[in-house]
Amino acid sequence: MTMTLIRNRLGLLVLGVLVTFVLYLLLPAIQHEKFTSSVDIPKPRAMDEELQKGQSTGNVTILTGTVLQNPSVFFREAVHVPKDGAPSAESRLGVLFLHGQAFTSQTWEELRTLTLLSEHGYRAVAIDLPGYGDSPHSAAVETTQGRVAFLQEVLKELRLLKPVLISSSMSGRYSIPYLLTSGEQLKGFVPIAPVGTKDFTAQQYQQIKTPTLIIYGERDTGLGTQSLQSLQQIPNSKVVMLPGAGHACYLDKPQEFHKAILSFLGELK
């Protein structure tokens, strides 16, 4: 009787050890299954979005050349070729970019501003002002009248009929006088903290009828706020301040800058 009881207890002990061992082996698999079934693993939507952003309706090529003579003026133009190879017969709104003192037309290419505008159906052109980049110095632009005449000739040679003029910093020496004397030849004007705004009166600015988008950086407490005081006198104008951006706000906040430009151009169509 005693031996039988001992055997039964030993049998139960061995059985308990075996059950414990089997559960030990199966526990990781059970936990893994439970974990994977309770966690919602997100799909790689971000990657899909990036691929969609990279899709295009065609290719954009940056062409370069010169207009005028003695001296010549260097320019860059974004040319959009649709995937079907058929150029659009639709008349495109032209946009001419001028640059600041520390920059050239290459700035607008490297920032992909020219490409972006071309992809959105605009004719985007940037020039090197005389004495900058690949445009040699010209004594003809040493006077205000000379700079106005210079822009008139450039627009004529580039066949930009009533374009939008985008002018930053130093190029205000060209664009502001041109706006005041020939503003009717522009579809729109985008000054980006330009110089020379204090040379004209509030009454002169109030006579301007050209739609104007004033852009400046929040941290540009010099030319940005100074030019704003004059330019906001233009009746048909709106102001976009880029938060956290400095004087060259288009470099600090390119996405916000491009968004503002495209929105303004869309209103002019």
Q: Are 125 and 75 in contact (CB under 8 A)?
A: yes
Handedness of CA 237, 243, 248, 250 (dihedral sign): negative
Edge-to-edge, what's the strand order for the sheet holding 212-217?
58-67, 73-82, 123-127, 94-97, 164-168, 188-192, 212-217, 237-242
Q: Which of 138, 168, 175, 247 is catalytic?
A: 247
Q: Which of 118, 135, 138, 169 is catalytic?
A: 169
Of residues 121, 71, 69, the one with CA closest to residue 95: 121
Clarify whether 40 is annotated catalytic: no
Q: Which helix (H) or strand (E) holds 257?
A: helix 254-268
Clarify whether 247 is annotated catalytic: yes
Q: Which of 80, 138, 171, 220 is catalytic?
A: 220
Q: Are 210 and 181 in contact (CB under 8 A)?
A: no
Clarify whether 169 is annotated catalytic: yes
Rg (CA), the chain: 33
Catalytic residues: 169, 220, 247
